[in-house]
Homo-oligomer: A and B are copies of this chain.
Amino acid sequence: MAKNFNTLKALLTPEAQEKVAQMAEQMLQEMPLLELRQARGLSQKMMADALNIQQPAVAKIEKRTDMYLSTLRNHIQAMGGELEIVARFPEGSVKIQNFSDL
Residues of A within 8 A of B (CB): 5, 8-9, 17-18, 20-33, 36, 39-40, 62, 64-70, 72, 76, 79-90, 92-99, 101-102
Q: Do A95 and B29 have beta carbons less than 8 Å apart?
A: yes
Number of this chain's copies in the complex: 2
The interface residues of chain B lying within 8 Å CB-to-CB of A31 are: 94-97
Q: Which of A32, A94, A97 has the most CB of B within 10 A?
A: A94
Q: Do A24 and B21 have beta carbons less than 8 Å apart?
A: yes
Set B25, B67, B88: member contacting A21, Cβ < 8 A: B25
The interface residues of chain B lying within 8 Å CB-to-CB of A5 are: 23, 26
Q: Do A85 and B85 have beta carbons less than 8 Å apart?
A: yes
Q: Do B36 and A96 have beta carbons less than 8 Å apart?
A: yes
